[in-house]
Each structure stands twice: as C-alpha cells, then as structure tokens.
Amino acid sequence: MADSSKFQIAIVGAGIAGLGAAIALKNHPAIDVQVYEKALELREIGASIALGPNGMRTLERLGVNNALEDEVAFRNKSRHPMIYRHWQTNEIVSTDSHAGEVEYRHLTSRFYRAHLQEALAKHVDPSRIHLSKAFQSVTSDATTGKLLITFTDGTTATADIILGSDGIHSPVRTFFVPTSGTAWTGWVAFRSVFPYSHVAHIKDVPDEANHFWGPDRTLFVSKLGRDLFTVVGSYQADPGAPDAPWKDSAWDSKGDVNVLRGFYKDWSPLTRQIIDAVPHTNVYPNSAARVLDTWVLGGGRVTLAGDAAHAHGGAFAAGGSLALDDAWAFAASILHVFPENATRKPTDTEILTALRIYEKTRKPHTDRVMSVVHENNKKKLARYSQDSPPESDEQLRARIKNRDDPSWIHEHDVQAAFARAVAEETAGQVGAGGQARL
Ligand SMILES: Cc1cc2nc3c(=O)[nH]c(=O)nc-3n(C[C@H](O)[C@H](O)[C@H](O)COP(=O)(O)OP(=O)(O)OC[C@H]3O[C@@H](n4cnc5c(N)ncnc54)[C@H](O)[C@@H]3O)c2cc1C
C-alpha cells in the first residue's frame, strides 16, 4: 500500500533497471517505493544476458550477491570476456580482455535472464510490486503537488517522482517525448536457451562464451548458469525494404530452427553440429531510438533508466549493466539530496538537483554508447547492402581484429562518474535541465 506521507517514488517497469532502483532505495525509512509493472507476472523472456564487470560490481553494491554465484553466473575460465572465432576454421582470431584489474566474482558473466531477474526480485518486498499496471499517462495535481499516474485499467497512483524504467519502447518516455519512438534496425536475433545436455556429445563444443564471425552473420554460443546453453544466430535485413523478412514479427515470437540451420549451412562442421542440436528458437527483431536531449522530464519530477533512457538495441551486450548502473546512480542522486537521516522531504529544487546529478552521471556515457551503436549500425548496413562487393577472408579477419574495444563500456566506473557529477553540480557547472510537459 502506497504511503503518501512519505516521499513517494513510483518506478514504472519491473525489469533490471526498475528492480535495481527499488533495491537501492528500499532501506530509506522516509521513502515509499512502489513498482508498477504491466505484465501479469514477473517472468523474463527465455533468452540469455551478459553482464560486464560494471554490472557485476553494481549487483554487489546493491547487495544482490546471490546473482554473483557460479550457480547462476557463467564466467569464461580463460577470463576473456569474449573469444572470436572464424566461421569456417573455428580458429581463435582474437579475444577481448578486461582492461583493468577485475576480481573473479566481477568477471563478465552470462545468465539465463530469468535467473537474473529472480535474483533481483528476491531483494524486493513483493507487496511493493504491482502487476498488471500498464502506465498510460501522468498529470500534476495542483492541490497536493503530487503527480498522478493513470494506468490503462483506469486506476491511478500518486508519486513525488517517477522513474520510467519501462524498457526499450518506454511509454513513459514517449509520453513526455512523443518523437522518441524506436525504429527497426534491420537486425534480427534468433535466440535459444536449452539444457547443455543437448550439445554435450559434440566433440570440441566450446566450454566458454564464443562469438563466431562470418562474412554475413555471426553466431554466439555460451554456457549459462544451472547447466544451460545459449545459441544466438542473426540475420541482417535492409530495414527500408518493404518486404524485409521479420520486419513485422513480434518480439520474442516463435522462430523456425530450420531457417536457423539454413543460415549456417556453409559454416564449419562444429558450428553446424551445434545449430543442429538447437531444439527451438525465438525471433527478436532489433530496434533502437535516438539520443534524448535530456533525461529531466515532467518539470523536473520524472526521469528514465535502462533501455527507456537509452534505447540502444542491446549492442555490445551492454544493456543489462547499463540498466544496473542507471539504477544505482538514480538512487545515489536521490540519497544525495535526501539522506536517510533527513528531517524533511526534499524541496522541488532539491529534487531537480538530484535528477540533474543523475543525468550528469549517466547521460554523457550512454550518449557515447548510443553514438557508437548508431555508427556501427550504419557500417553494418553498408556492408550488407547489395551494392557492396563480397568481403574477402582477409577483410573479415581484419574486421574481427579491428573491432571496437568495448572495455570502456564494460568497465565504466559509475561511482567515479557520480562523484564528478556531484562536484560539478556543487560548483554550479551543470546546465539547466527540465522539459516541462505537465
Ligand atoms: C533477448 C535479449 C537479449 C539481450 N541480451 C543482452 C545481453 O546479453 N547483455 C545485456 O547487457 N543486455 C542484453 N539485452 C538488453 C538488456 O536486456 C536490456 O538492456 C535490459 O534488460 C534493460 O533493462 P530495463 O529494465 O531497462 O528494461 P526491461 O528489462 O525491458 O524491463 C522493462 C519492464 O517494463 C515493463 N513495461 C513495459 N511497458 C510498461 C508499461 N506501460 N507500464 C508498466 N511497465 C511496463 C516491461 O514489462 C518490463 O518488465 C538483451 C535484451 C533482450 C530482450
């Protein structure tokens, strides 16, 4: 039950960002956190997710140590976050390495998404999570000074602040910034998670996370926690083509394993054996949105986190960790203006300060991620366009070796960024945020 005498924070969306923020704020005696989730039950889609050292450190900072356990988090024993192999010879062409010192428990890990969500949900009082509550709109109540959220079932809830953590298509974001809808990138992922026993018989099946690269697609394979295995295949279409396959497919819809097998028919015997063992697959047409001008919305009372704030379409397998870092930074910014021993609620100016610190902590970093992703998407489309000549083996190997080094994303230090943002805000260097819509 929401307590309007406390400082009310409404979190819209119980994904990684929303649950992370709820966990980070749950111990404040004068903050009332309520999470509104549109789904009927908390259930993750049947796919895998990777977290880099930044996400793993933030999980630990949030006290979600159960997600760091080997039982659910699979780490490469070589410590390489990713191993890149040739599509026909299987040889290792390159590897990613952690740039800084990374302790074992923070090494890049792969999860079955449901295991990660379960681990997070264990730290949130279930009575604070309201299911079947799909955000529709917000108004401001001049009498109480509160925000009034309306859900699609006609019910309402009050809040002092709203955190929109409602995913890539974010109704909160598009309510405040109607031009911020997503567009299909043309990339389609075919994702499968199944028991490791399906591939255990295959000689040389990789026992680490491996990304095979070919001229026109890639194949990701990895063990996950609790003896699961994941395979992610891909198809790149021209997003502008009216007849592009899977253009209108629903996210997480059932795919055809025979189509997947067809994609890899010329690949190495090892990759084909793995693909032949895949029992089922689901289809995920990828989309992305443009960078937002500001994350300080609703007259300084609403902000965004996770994919809602930076709909980058999952590139670099970074979205989960970015969402966790957002959640931590949002909570840290609120606690900066409203510490646990505060004797009164924060003023509107203090709330605005908190949202600016949050934006300053996160947005420059995620804007950079988004700009690299958009640039890479353009390059990918150019490479796959019908007019471009086929890539030679030499060019493919050079592309693998010259890929972006993602360590600046996966080892980003959110605490240091927060400290810098606080210092800048204190020095009055942060520009005015705010985008009134209420
Ligand atoms: C198949 C797949 C694979 C991915 N692989 C990786 C990976 O390997 N590594 C990685 O880091 N990232 C990966 N990503 C991206 C990563 O999952 C996201 O970046 C991350 O989940 C973002 O978390 P979030 O909390 O912002 O959004 P979500 O996890 O999408 O959560 C949003 C929540 O909001 C709810 N919601 C939506 N609309 C409303 C509404 N109107 N009202 C209330 N609630 C609403 C949704 O039901 C959902 O529960 C992948 C994404 C997918 C889907």
What pLDDT is attached to residue 433?
40
CB 317 less than 6 A from any atom of ligand 1? yes
- Please report whether residue 285 resides in a domain: no
- How much distance in Å is there from the Cα of 15 to the middle of ligand 1? 6
User: Which long-range contacts (C-beta less than 8 Å, at least 24 apart) are formed by 342-349?
Assistant: 342/30, 345/7, 345/30, 345/160, 346/7, 348/300, 348/301
Q: Is the dihedral of CA 278, 279, 285, 288 positive or negative?
A: negative
What pLDDT is attached to residue 271?
98
Map residue 74 onto helix, strand or coil: strand
Q: Side chain identity at 54, as an amino acid letter?
A: N
CA distance 270 to 158: 56
- Please report whether residue 56 resides in a domain: yes
How many structural domains does the chain have? 1
- Nearest-atom number in ligand 1 for the CA of 326 is 26
> How far, CA to CA in Å, does 248 sit from each of 68, 251, 259, 299?
37, 9, 17, 36
CB 166 less than 6 A from any atom of ligand 1? yes
CA distance 45 to 226: 17
Q: Side chain identity at 74, as an amino acid letter?
A: F
CA distance 238 to 382: 10
- Token pair for residue 142? 């001049």
What is the best residue among 37, 137, 324 to mutate for testing ligand 1's pocket, by most ligand atoms within 8 Å of CB?
Answer: 37
With contact defined as beta carbons under 8 Å apart, do 72 and 88 qualify?
no
CA distance 187 to 387: 18
What pLDDT is attached to residue 312?
85
With contact defined as beta carbons under 8 Å apart, do 310 and 373 qualify?
no
Q: Side chain identity at 251, as an amino acid letter?
A: W
Q: CATH no. for residue 91?
A: 3.50.50.60
- Nearest-atom number in ligand 1 for the CA of 306 is 26
- Please report whether residue 83 resides in a domain: yes
What pLDDT is attached to residue 56?
98
pLDDT, one tens digit for every residue, the chain (438 residues): 678 789 999 999 999 999 999 999 999 999 999 999 999 988 777 799 999 999 999 999 999 999 999 999 999 999 999 999 999 999 999 999 999 999 999 999 999 999 999 999 999 999 999 999 999 999 999 888 999 999 999 999 999 999 999 999 999 999 999 999 999 988 999 999 999 999 999 999 999 999 999 998 999 999 999 999 999 999 988 888 888 888 888 888 899 999 999 999 999 999 999 999 999 999 999 899 999 999 999 999 999 999 999 998 878 889 999 999 999 999 999 999 999 999 999 999 999 999 999 999 999 999 999 999 888 888 888 877 767 788 899 999 999 999 989 999 999 999 999 999 999 998 875 443 433 333
CA distance 35 to 21: 10
- Please report whether residue 44 resides in a domain: yes
Using CA positions, which residue lies closest to atom 8 of ligand 1?
Answer: 49
Map residue 104 onto helix, strand or coil: helix
The residue segments making up the domain with residue 118 are 7-181+290-426
Half-sphere exposure of 395 (CA within 13 A, CB side): 7
- Please report whether residue 332 resides in a domain: yes
CB 307 less than 6 A from any atom of ligand 1? yes
- Token pair for residue 162? 């709203």
- Please report whether residue 97 resides in a domain: yes
DSSP 8-state code for residue 124: S
Q: Across-strand partners of 9?
A: 33, 161
CB 16 less than 6 A from any atom of ligand 1? yes
What pLDDT is attached to residue 245?
87
With contact defined as beta carbons under 8 Å apart, do 137 and 147 qualify?
no
> How far, CA to CA in Å, does 282 sit from each of 48, 245, 246, 251, 289?
12, 14, 12, 9, 23
What pLDDT is attached to residue 429?
53
The phi, psi pair for 324, rounded to 5°, reads -65, -45
What pLDDT is attached to residue 374?
87
Burial 117-145 (b: 16+ CB within 10 A, else e): bbbbbebbeeebbbeebebbebeeeeeee
With contact defined as beta carbons under 8 Å apart, do 285 and 191 qualify?
no
CB 36 less than 6 A from any atom of ligand 1? yes
Question: Cα–chain-centroid distance for residue 231?
Answer: 19
- How much distance in Å is there from the Cα of 127 to the middle of ligand 1? 22
- Nearest-atom number in ligand 1 for the CA of 189 is 1
Using CA positions, which residue lies closest to atom 29 of ligand 1?
Answer: 15
- Please report whether residue 48 resides in a domain: yes
What pLDDT is attached to residue 327?
98
Nearest to 119, CA basis, from 77, 192, 166, 60: 60
CA distance 47 to 114: 8
With contact defined as beta carbons under 8 Å apart, do 305 and 18 qualify?
yes
Using CA positions, which residue lies closest to atom 9 of ligand 1?
Answer: 317
- Please report whether residue 409 resides in a domain: yes
Residues whose CB is less than 8 angstroms from the CB of residue 156 and which lie 6 or more positions away in sequence, other chains included: 148, 149, 150
| SS3 readout for 231-253 | EEEEEECCCCCCCCCCCCCCCCE
